[in-house]
Structure 1
Amino acid sequence: MVFLYHDSKRYPNYANSWCFVSLAIVTLLSTTPHPSFAEKSSKSAANLIDSCWRWNSNWASNRQELALCSVGFAGKMTNNVGSHVTFYQVTDPSDNALHPNPGTLRYGATMIKGKKWITFQRDMRIKLDKPLLISSFTAIDGRGANIHIAGNACLTVFKASNIIIHGLRIHHCRSQPPSSVMGPDGKPFPVGQVDGDAVRLITASKVWIDHNTFYECEDGLLDVTRGSTDITISNNWFRDQDKVMLLGHDDGYVRDKNMRVTLVYNHFGPNCNQRMPRIRYGYAHVVNNLYRKWSQYAIGGSMNPSVKSEANLFIAPKRGNKEVTWRKVSNSIGSKSSWKFRSVGDIFENEASFLQTSLPVAGVMPQYKRIQSFLVAHAKAVRSLTRSSGALKCTKTSRC
């Protein structure tokens, strides 16, 4: 059986949800945030994303509320909500790459046109036959179930926008040979050789990746490449991986100069080696994240990227490299002195260090619009802010 609906008479909670979301949009832009879950429980600094929705024990009937809680370059995900959203429930963990069956994740992500909000009927482990290409205006919401995407192919966003990926456990992704899959809007699509990444963003925009757990993939955990921009990566747990996150396709892809990425409230480690992130050309605001050791480096890059590292907690390994940063200098681009790597309010433990440029702080400001901006907490609060990083364990009848 497949649940596919947007009938307000049969499903009044979802009709009420859109009324609630419409009111919330106005409220969000004119008032201060709701008291946070963290403040209520421990009187610590607020995780502004979680404080926006986790207080609500009736979240399962108001799922679209989540879309208004994102911060950073993705902005608010208002294009993912509305009265014409199709609510689709995954009931079948199987997968057919070219002929997806109703009830499967691939069917919801590719065959349903327009705005769709995808949830899961129960706990399940999904082994994808081939990479899953996610259509624009798709929210994949794993809250209330224990969802693993693991053991073979994983997720790709190709030339798509307005996408939420929330509450999944993605791991043990494997490389894939060239193939054909069902693509966005129900059209077959050829896919070339694919590395074993958990999530790949290719020429994507306005994507929010929140509260997922990533680990042990063949290549990397998250790639943002080929002109992708306006991305927020928040509340995720990245662990047990060599190459964690790549921002920017390669040194010759100049279009990545327009890339803008926010990384906030993420937990890196244990057992992460490098690329947290590695960035080319573009801009990254790395803020209020927890780094639990590294082997090679934590934040690095090439082609003169701009990085503002703000109020993070860096815990260096007891032995080995204590330096947070790594930079590959190209003779055609300039020396290390022309880079824009700036640390503001970070805390360094176990003799961690950050080699920054002499550029004034104003030279690496994120220049957020009002709807993207958020308050940065003191780095002393990072342990508390990231305590719930990763896919949440919650039921549909209680707070997450």
Structure 2
Amino acid sequence: MAFHGCCFTLALALLLHILVILFTPNTILPANAHRSSNSPPAMKLNVIDRCWRRSRNWQRHRQLLATCSVGFAGKMTNNIGTDLIRYEVTDPSDHPLNPKPGTLRFGATNIKGKVWITFKQSMRIKLEKPLLISSFTTIDGRGASIHIAGGACLLLHEVTNVIIHGIRIHHCRAQMPGQVLGPDSKMMELGHVDGDAIRLVASSQIWIDHNTLYECQDGLLDVTRGSTDITISNNWFRNHDKVMLLGHDDEYLQDKNMKVTVAFNHFGPNCYQRMPRVRHGYTHVVNNLYLGWEQYAIGGSMNPSVLSEANLFIAPESGTKEVTWRQDNNENGRSWNFQSVRDVFENGAHFSQTGDSAKRPHYNHLQTFRVADAKAVRPITRSSGALRCRKRSRC
């Protein structure tokens, strides 16, 4: 009976928290209101982190994280509920066709329904083939240092409602064609796979938050083939050439429906280009920190709409100071819409605008959030990337 009572109390607390988030999405508490005794008084948090990092008991109520997402992914409340299955990774090994219980692949592919994956301890996982993640799956690395490195990495193929949080993904390598176990334990035949850290194919309502990504063979994050309703937030991208691609290729017209929010991320040091590169579609780039670039920071082709809002762009000491790049293919880019609103530019950085006006993202009440002033970007992105969360302590 005590077990059922505990579950009822947790479910009630979760429901109340969700209701607060849904009906007051723009609420910002004063700096000293309801602060956990474990929270440092000087720490400034962005709207996502403010939602959960102030809690001293985050590890006991992990699923509250799903109520904290903003941007085009909306609230990830489809990932939680009374039917949620909790799965703990205890074994860092990997088998692409017959994964053992306790491994990451087993939890991401073999279990049907809503799955919340955590890790018993810190570990380094070398995937033998790309990890195909099922719909309604959360991979939550908080409380451990989780590295996916040295082999294949993550692939979201025709799935929805996925959260990837708190993982270090690096040194991903291209993979030859072959079979791999996919969502719902179905065998899939994959062609050649580039060495991307995370690739999305025809997937929707995806939240990628607080991960550290670097030094992969191809890109760090690709959103392709009709994927939409994506939020990419609080990540640290560093030491890489082609960082983020949004849109499959110039001929893939379905990407005109693509909507992506890129918020509170830290780009650099040593990021060269594609932060992001956008084909078709609409992207809201907001409250990000850019520590230089080699070729450009934000670019694209096929006339995408990009709203750059309240970002901090710090140009490199030498080389190009221009933030943007366009591959013109339609009357020298006259129908483009690249707009800068309330951005801050340092060290000679400058932004070439194209289009008549700033096209707003038109978020609904589950997606909207208050944009911070660009002067606050440094403190609110200071903890971007995978957090060092200790159990029974603040995150």
> What is the distance in 1 between the residues matched to 2:145 and 2:315?
32
Alignment of 1:317-336 (within 5 A): 317-330=316-329, 333-336=330-333
Count of residues in Structure 1 that have an aligned counterpart in Structure 2 = 389
Using a 3 Å threshold, how does the CA distance of structure 1 residues 128 and 14 change in structure 2: closer, same or farther? farther
**1:55, 1:399 within 8 Å by CA — same for their partners in 2?**
yes
* Higher mean C-alpha deviation, range 142-151 or range 34-43: 34-43
Match of 2:376 among 381, 390, 393: 381
User: Are residue 197 (structure 1) and residue 192 (structure 2) matched?
Assistant: no
**Could you say which residue in structure 2 is the equivalent of 1:4?**
none
TM-score by length of 1: 0.94
**Could you say which residue in structure 2 is the equivalent of 1:56?**
55
**Could you say which residue in structure 2 is the equivalent of 1:30?**
23
**Could you say which residue in structure 1 is the equivalent of 2:64?**
65
Report SS of the residue matched to 1:17.
helix
User: 1:19: how far off?
Assistant: 2.6
AA partner of residue 341 (structure 2): V
Alignment of 1:114-193 (within 5 A): 114-193=113-192
Sequence identity of aligned pairs in percent? Answer: 63
> What is the distance in 2 between the residues matched to 1:383 and 1:97?
41
Report SS of the residue matched to 1:273.
strand
Match of 2:14 among 12, 21, 24: 21
User: 1:16: how far off?
Assistant: 4.0
Using a 3 Å threshold, how does the CA distance of structure 1 residues 247 and 36 change in structure 2: closer, same or farther? farther
Report SS of the residue matched to 1:102.
coil
**1:295, 1:320 within 8 Å by CA — same for their partners in 2?**
yes
- Deviations 1:142-182 (Å, cap 9, x if unpaired)? 00000000000000000000000000000000000111111
User: 1:25: how far off?
Assistant: 1.3
AA partner of residue 233 (structure 1): I
User: 1:338: how far off?
Assistant: 1.5
**1:91, 1:122 within 8 Å by CA — same for their partners in 2?**
yes
> What is the distance in 2 between the residues matched to 1:183 and 1:83?
25
**1:94, 1:126 within 8 Å by CA — same for their partners in 2?**
yes
User: 1:14: how far off?
Assistant: 5.8
**1:46, 1:377 within 8 Å by CA — same for their partners in 2?**
no
User: Are residue 370 (structure 1) and residue 365 (structure 2) matched?
Assistant: yes
- Deviations 1:11-37 (Å, cap 9, x if unpaired)? 976654333221111111234245569
**1:161, 1:206 within 8 Å by CA — same for their partners in 2?**
yes
**Could you say which residue in structure 2 is the equivalent of 1:339?**
336
Using a 3 Å threshold, how does the CA distance of structure 1 residues 335 and 12 change in structure 2: closer, same or farther? farther
Report SS of the residue matched to 1:348.
strand
Using a 3 Å threshold, how does the CA distance of structure 1 residues 81 and 230 change in structure 2: closer, same or farther? same
Using a 3 Å threshold, how does the CA distance of structure 1 residues 37 and 351 change in structure 2: closer, same or farther? farther
AA partner of residue 371 (structure 1): L
> What is the distance in 2 between the residues matched to 1:82 and 1:253?
36
- Give the unaligned 5+ runs of structure 1: 1-7
Report SS of the residue matched to 1:370.
coil
**1:285, 1:310 within 8 Å by CA — same for their partners in 2?**
yes
Using a 3 Å threshold, how does the CA distance of structure 1 residues 118 and 12 change in structure 2: closer, same or farther? farther
- Give the unaligned 5+ runs of structure 2: none
- Deviations 1:339-387 (Å, cap 9, x if unpaired)? 10000000000100100024122xx110111110000011000000100
**1:36, 1:51 within 8 Å by CA — same for their partners in 2?**
no
TM-score by length of 2: 0.95
**Could you say which residue in structure 2 is the equivalent of 1:98?**
97
**Could you say which residue in structure 1 is the equivalent of 2:239?**
240
Q: Over aligned residue pairs, what C-alpha RMSD do you find?
A: 1.8
